[in-house]
Structure 1
Amino acid sequence: MSQTILQGRSHQPNLGLVCVTSSQEVRFRTITRTRYLKLSESERENTLKDIYTDNVNRLHKALSFCQQHDIKLYRASSGLFPLNDWEDEIGAQVLEEMRDELGKIGQRAIELGIRIVLHPDQYVVISSDSPAVVQSSIQILQRHAKDLDLLGLPRSHWSLMNIHGGKAQRPEQLIQVVNELPEEIKSRLTFENDEYAYSAREILEVCQSTDIPMVFDAHHHICHEKLSSYEDPSVAEMFYAARDTWQNPDWQLVHISNGETAFSDRKHSNLITSMPSVYREAPWIEIEAKAKEDAIALLQKVWLGTSS
């Protein structure tokens, strides 16, 4: 392990699990559109009801897993309720019928002290130059916002929906679309810097212009800027600048990953063996590593010194 990760700590960040475990303990069911379209209307309803019910039970299991392993943040899968935004509206109706059952998730998460967040997929591009893509992206965000409502999660950046800037060199489009978003989306929306289209500084300016919190990703930053260390002064600079975009700094969320074959490799490694020292001050960190819970356990033991 690098010296960075072995330094003494002055803060105790909360570490987050992304979607599934590397083991089979946390997994979710899905269905392809091709298979779905072959079903009759009644078969569609029964199939989605079965998948959604099963996935809610698996989400409860994910919360139990996080509780058992002292993981305080969980990024729910954006595919938790597959095809719930399909044009036949069957999935949306099934979820409405499950409202009471779904609401228990939020109640249980609060009781366990576990924060649930969401990262919609790559098809959400609200900076697109295609009006159809922008509209489709907003509809996806509306569906996710509705899901979070049904799960009993608050309309705040505690239960955030995090997206990237999308199409490069269109910050004005981003700002315009964000300012016109309905409150159920905007009250949860955060932006993250990426490796290609929007640097940390560029997405920071968008966040500052829209009062949207910024999720800083140190690895995206070093890849975009071609840096050789997480201790480059710009890493701490962007961390603090991102913190200032959060109305509640105690809710600030950051991401971390390590390169698979080299420091600046965009592919994620199995474990996290190098951390920016400034991340000692991060209240919440999503761990984006292939080994999932094993990576978190190693950080808890070696970096935080909290596990036996």
Structure 2
Amino acid sequence: MILRFGYVSTALSLWEASPSRTLTFTNWKKLDHEERMNKLYSATERNLINTIRAIYFNLAHGIHVYRMSSSLVPLATHPEAKWDYITPFAHLFKEIGELVKKYSLRLSFHPSQYTLFTSEKEHITQNAIIDMMYHYQMLEAMGLEKEANINIHVGGAYGNKSDAINRFHHNFKQLDRSIQKRTTLENDDKTYTALETLQVCEQHSLPFVFDYHHHWANPGEESIEELLPKIYATWKQWKIPPKFHLSSPKSEKEFRAHADNVDIEFALPFIKSLQSYGKDADIMIEAKAKDKAALTFVEQLSSLRGFKRVDGGTIKI
């Protein structure tokens, strides 16, 4: 079996490579129209170029799984700062998509925790729809709208988890069907357990992204071994290996926060469960050290008996 490891957003090994340069709305308001557009264009162009730099870095280091920044376009969804962020950068979006297809990379987005469909407030649902549209439009510009995914959490419970899940079922259906089809759901570290999230996925035919650290912090009653067959079943429609998230606690006190690197002793029970199940998987490393953490973890894993490193980010078991 093959395990491929990736990382989130910024290749820290590269100089000045953040893909999340921004312009706050407060500062935007202080500028005249020309200055506003210059700032927006400059930041967006730099973010897309740095995304391309990260992709080339990944290719050079054998990393096939990568999550793009959700902050590629400053103020993209702000109602007062609406602007055409696709046309001026069509060539850069296209270049990203062509690289992804040429080298069979796996890309994704992960909107913020505020993009949710469980709220009683209609404006929050509408904001979530706008944010999902923003991510999907970027995928369209890349030509990846039928390949990449947009990963979100179920949302809040608001004192009644059952009612909140019913609202998710209702509110999520307001999202354009083409965007629904590219959506995945992830269990969280406080509210919705892996099984609860999986059940929502099954109802909407959505793939489930299992987060091991979140499951450890908010476990429910089901073991990973019990969950794996159901997790893999949700991905059959996409005909690609499931994606998992992996991080480890920052400290005993801050056990929900992500550490700089992944503690291999913490992660091994999860890896061993995948090994026992025996099917390929892609694993997103969500550590603060990003690319460095992913490559370090793969190196550590390759030192164990039965784990062979076949390139920078890939282990064959």
Question: TM-score if structure 1 supplies the norm length?
Answer: 0.87
Paired residue for 1:144? 135
The one of 280, 285, 288 equivalent to 1:287 is 285
Q: Does 1:194 align with 2:185?
A: no
Paired residue for 1:252? 242
Q: Does 1:278 align with 2:273?
A: yes
**In the aligned structure 1, how far is the partner of 2:34 from the partner of 2:82?**
9
Question: In the TM superposition, what are the counterparts of 1:82-121 in structure 2 within 5 Å?
Answer: 82-88=74-80, 90-91=82-83, 93-121=84-112
Maintained 8 Å contact 1:104/1:152: no
**In the aligned structure 2, how far is the partner of 1:248 from the partner of 1:285?**
16
Q: Does 1:163 align with 2:161?
A: no
The one of 151, 172, 176 equivalent to 1:178 is 172
Letter in 2 for 1:279: L
Question: In the TM superposition, what are the counterparts of 1:1-308 in structure 2 within 5 Å?
Answer: 11-25=1-15, 26-28=17-19, 29-88=21-80, 90-91=82-83, 93-155=84-146, 158-168=147-157, 169=161, 170-225=164-219, 234-246=223-235, 247-262=237-252, 265-272=255-262, 273=264, 274-275=267-268, 276=270, 277-280=272-275, 281-304=279-302, 305-306=308-309
Per-residue CA distance 1:9-40 (angstroms, 9 max, x = gap):
xx221111111134454312211111111111
| C-alpha distance 90-202 of structure 1, shift in aligned 2 (>3 A) | closer
Maintained 8 Å contact 1:259/1:267: yes
| C-alpha distance 88-67 of structure 1, shift in aligned 2 (>3 A) | same
Per-residue CA distance 1:142-199 (angstroms, 9 max, x = gap):
11111111122133xx310000111121111112222332023112101000111111
Task: Compute the displacement of 1:65 (Å).
Answer: 0.9
**In the aligned structure 2, how far is the partner of 1:90 from the partner of 1:172?**
32
Maintained 8 Å contact 2:195/2:220: no
Maintained 8 Å contact 1:22/1:290: no
SS at match of 1:221: helix
Per-residue CA distance 1:245-266 (angstroms, 9 max, x = gap):
1113523111111112249921
Maintained 8 Å contact 1:45/1:94: no
Q: Which runs of 5+ in 2 are unaligned?
A: 303-307, 313-317
Maintained 8 Å contact 1:199/1:224: yes
Maintained 8 Å contact 1:256/1:287: yes
**In the aligned structure 2, how far is the partner of 1:60 from the partner of 1:145?**
18
| C-alpha distance 94-244 of structure 1, shift in aligned 2 (>3 A) | closer
| C-alpha distance 101-198 of structure 1, shift in aligned 2 (>3 A) | same
Report the number of matched residues: 290
Letter in 1 for 2:287: A
Maintained 8 Å contact 2:22/2:43: yes
Per-residue CA distance 1:267-292 (angstroms, 9 max, x = gap):
21222212311234342100011222
Letter in 2 for 1:245: T
Q: Which runs of 5+ in 1 are unaligned?
A: 1-10, 228-232
**In the aligned structure 2, how far is the partner of 1:144 from the partner of 1:241?**
28
| C-alpha distance 282-289 of structure 1, shift in aligned 2 (>3 A) | farther
